[in-house]
Chains A and B, each alone.
Chain A
Amino acid sequence: MDKRGHMGGEFRAAEDCASPSRRSFLIGAAFMSSTLLLAGCGGGEAAHRSVSPRFFKNDERNFIRAAVDRLIPADQLGAGAVGAGVDTFIDAQLAGPFGQAVGIYMQAPFHLGDQEQGYQLPFTPAQVYRLGIQRVDEHCRKQFGNAFAQLKPDRQDAILHELEDGKIDLGEIPSGDFFGLLWQNTREGFLADPIYGGNRDFAGWKLIGYTGPRYNYLDDIGHFGKPYERSYVSLDGTSPVMCRFGDSPTGRFRGPGCEYAQMPAKVHYDALTTTTGKVWPAGNL
């Protein structure tokens, strides 16, 4: 049996577009059913729907937008992290398997150990963000009378440096770890393929001059020192449009009115991990 054959489930796409309660089912099913989804999500109606965060609460999102705006600011070189959609990227990542530490060894007992022994906190990345943001904001209110997002940029920079250097007490979470995760995810959102919701309009890749994944440089590789001038491409084409239920790794479904809602990582992840064991040749047992 084809390992993905079981995923082509039947359902009525039009209903599912508006039904968050069925999202978890769709995440698994969208893999093979992208065309159905497109048919259901298409049209102008959905284009005007506002997108609420999937993981962050409002004050958390304010923090994230303010922080990533300092980590990669907009300037004369182009868009910064906020313009590139990095806050949306991080939100989607934390709502998905990365944020939930799916596949990660979380067995107790937890000891901090030495830095050479790596991550040892009993928290998922989503929990690190939730606790970390809350405590940074508490620290800011106590010290400066306002949440991080309301402080002046210079002050925000100073706080980020202190976090990075491990100098702010965030309780169980070393502030350097919190900063490290935030910076890692900010870079990812700025420089990953736009299909994940960040690097919007290729902001990150335009900054550095990477034109996206291409298949063949056989001739160009010999043109030492010469510029490589081509349009920017994403795995989903040259101009990715956010699409509601995630993209298909093999398809190119995008269209008017489909806003981004689910990272493809989750979709593919499910496909990899829920596949029925292959027995070859069939009936070998």
Chain B
Amino acid sequence: MATKLPEVDVVLVGFGWTASIIAQELTDAGANVLALERGGWRDTVPDFSVTHIQDELRYAVRKQIFEETQRSTLAFRNRPDQLALPMRQLGSFLPAAGVGGAGVHWNGQNWRFLPTDFLLRTHNEQRYGKKAIPDDMTIQDWGITYEQLEPYYDKWEYLCGISGKAGNIGGAIQPGGNPFEGPRRRDYPLPPLKRCAATQLFDKAAREVGFHPFPAPAANTSKPYVNSLGVQMGQCTFCGYCEWFGCANYSKASPQSTILPVLLKKDNFSFRTHSSVVRVLTDSAGKRATGVVYVDQDGKEYIQPAQMVVLCAFAHHNVHLLLVSKIGTPYDPVGNTGVVGRNYAYQVSSDVNVTCKERLNPFMGAGALGQVVDDFNGDNFDHTGKGFIGGGYIALWNTGGRPILQEYLPKGTPKWGAGWKKALHEDYLYSTHMQCHGGMMSYRNNYLDLDPAYTDDYGNPLLRLTFDFYDNEHAMSKFLTDRATDIANAIPNRGINPKPRKGHYSIVPYQTTHNTGGAAMGADPRTSFVNPFLQSWDVPNLWVMGSSVFPQNPGYNPTGTVGALAFWAADAMKRYMKKPQPLVQT
């Protein structure tokens, strides 16, 4: 028998980036807010201390900073006619567990999407004609514009202390920045990070082949910084342990390093760890969320009533919760009806390894220490005759040269034995790689639903992922990888190894943790689960945060937009709290 707890104004499912932002904003507006986190409590001290956090085996390889599949996983297949099998080991993507969520272990590669990304279908149909979009490609506009989101991007960047160089302030192109970005109101709060040997080489080579490189916007602080909430951050020291690690140095923006010191002092905020939300409760008509059910680590069940429910968990988990709670119409790919689970997308990444003639010392790095070319992202170039739409950036990220996982050896290197040993000896200090970070369109047969065979720890059916890459993605990946190879060839080198994305999507090798969609936002309730304010069309006191609302995935890392959308939604929630009603009438 579940224990019923006293009602709160707002209950947040999860306690990562979006929950921290919503909590900070809504407690300022006077609401009583509770966050329920399935993982444990973590903080910079002692959990991310340099005495133990710089441990590649424990965190990056054994994955002790991520969720356990035993507790929560999904079943996967490439095609609807296949048997889906459980993802038993983590690989392709790495959801977090614990306070701070993936905000603890991300690299800090921080982006705004392009203005045309938000108008994807409209823009591409206008420029290339309706036939440029295949019938089974279910891309759609977001229901908001870049201009609407711009103030919230700005708010996010000044919260996080982003290091970078503006490329476009109010329409005026700025030398040294990304000339393709949308107009911004002001420059980044901090100057770009110092360059390292590899990014210097990339910059020179990219210019030589006629592209427009610029320093990547980084949520790693290039200088000490006091953020918009008055929280002090320290200067990044390039220790090389960002991705898959917590930051010891208060340099990588995370909930812990930017919001929690302020949020946790508030009397109208509380949180509970090891509390896994298993249901969103609704009234008998299914028109109002009444709270959530969660289970603690002893298996005890609690009902937490709330005036508002905000899903702030990892993209998959938000969609899973909607499906098991029977909220919204589940997506049916056969009839092409329903919305929950629709338009799941991912990232199409590929690599080019380069073994340089110059010594690189790759271990001096930071998660977002990179030099980038954005000439081939989104619709920054003419796609006529290319056979695909969309694109991605090409970057040289110098994240840290960690020895077990960051092996970038030339083509033809023996896989083991004396030859491998010799190559590692000769090339480790000289080798790096470029990443092609491609966007991904959404398709009729890429979707999430519930698996009929496998269950999770709580007896719920597993989420089922049906997903593959399509011709558009393979053509795009080849094009991007060829351009990266052009840059690699212009770097004085002893060998390169281009690795375009080929064949079926595989759940095994790590690609990115940029899983999107399943609860898309949009202006049309027939093709979106939330309205442009991230409010459920069906259940107006239920809101969905995070990349699960992306209708497809642009060619950038998602976190910058996830943060901006959370601030955008928080403003809408404040309006809702004054006058509880759908913010968009149907």
Contacts and interface: CB of A to CB of B under 8 A. Distances in A.
Contacts of A73: 417-418, 421
B453 interface: yes
A220 interface: yes
Contacts of B237: 215-218
A224 B64 contact: no
Contact of B264 (A224, A235, A280, A284): A280
A248 to B, nearest CB: 8
B309 to A, nearest CB: 18
B358 A224 contact: yes
A51 interface: no
A208 B64 contact: no
Contacts of B506: 115-116, 118
B368 to A, nearest CB: 14
B428 A117 contact: no
B361 interface: yes
Interface string A169-213: 000000000000001001110011101100000001101111101
A44 interface: no
Given A75-B418, A104-B70, A119-B89, A235 B54 contact: yes
B88 A192 contact: no
Interface string A56-84: 00000000000000111101010010000
A249 B40 contact: no
Interface stretch (A9-17, A130-138, A267-275): A267-275
27 contacts: A73-B421, A104-B68, A104-B88, A105-B70, A106-B88, A107-B454, A109-B453, A111-B85, A117-B77, A119-B88, A186-B416, A188-B404, A193-B57, A214-B363, A215-B50, A215-B237, A224-B196, A224-B200, A226-B359, A235-B54, A249-B49, A265-B57, A268-B58, A272-B64, A277-B274, A277-B275, A277-B296
Given A115-B508, A116-B78, A208 B424 contact: yes
Nearest to B87: A118
Given A104-B68, A204-B403, 5 more contacts: A103-B68, A105-B88, A115-B508, A215-B237, A280-B41
Interface in B154-210: 194-197, 200
Interface stretch (B265-273, B285-293, B332-340, B560-568): B265-273
Contact-residue size bin, chain A (C-beta under 8 Å from the other chain): 35 or more
A209 B87 contact: no
In the complex, the 3 A-B pairs of residues with the closest C-beta atoms, listed nearest first: A213-B54, A249-B52, A103-B68
Contacts of B421: 72-73, 75, 77, 80, 207
B46 A250 contact: yes
Interface of B: 5, 40-41, 46, 49-52, 54-58, 61-62, 64, 68-71, 73, 76-78, 82-83, 85-89, 91, 194-197, 200, 235, 237-241, 248-249, 264, 270-275, 296-297, 358-359, 361, 363-364, 401, 403-404, 415-418, 420-422, 424-425, 428-429, 453-455, 504-508
Contacts of A209: 428-429
Contacts of B71: 103
A281 interface: yes
Contacts of A117: 76-77, 85, 87, 507
Contacts of B56: 192-193
Given A72-B421, A73-B418, A105-B69, A116 B507 contact: yes
Nearest to B34: A284
A113 B84 CA distance: 8
Nearest to A160: B416
B239 A217 contact: yes
A278 interface: yes
Contacts of B78: 114, 116
A150 interface: no
Contact of B358 (A204, A225, A272): A225
A71 B419 CA distance: 10
B553 to A, nearest CB: 19
Contact of B85 (A120, A193, A196, A264): A120
B87 A207 contact: no
Contacts of A281: 270
B428 A210 contact: yes
A98 interface: yes
Contacts of A227: 359
B403 to A, nearest CB: 4
Contacts, number: 214
Q: Which one of B51, B195, B237, B403 has the greatest number of beta carbons of chain A within 10 Å?
A: B403
Contact of A193 (B55, B249, B428, B454): B55
Contacts of B70: 103-106
Interface of A: 3, 70-73, 75, 77, 80, 98, 103-107, 109, 111, 113-120, 157, 160, 164, 183, 186-188, 191-193, 195-196, 204-205, 207-211, 213-218, 220-222, 224-228, 235, 249-252, 264-265, 268-269, 272, 275-281, 284-285
Contacts of B275: 277
A107 B86 contact: yes
Contacts of B55: 193, 195, 213, 235
Contacts of B46: 250
A218 B238 contact: yes
A105 B194 CA distance: 43
A98 B508 CA distance: 18
B416 A235 contact: no
A226 B197 CA distance: 9
A208 B49 CA distance: 26
Contact of A284 (B197, B272, B403): B272
Contacts of B424: 207-208
Contacts of A205: 403
A264 B51 CA distance: 13
A221 B238 contact: yes
B403 A208 contact: yes
A277 B418 CA distance: 49
A214 to B, nearest CB: 7
Nearest to A285: B5
A221 B272 contact: no
A111 B88 contact: no
A119 B454 CA distance: 16
Contacts of B363: 210-211, 214, 217
Given A192-B404, A221-B238, A70 B88 contact: no
Contact of A208 (B51, B87, B200, B429): B429
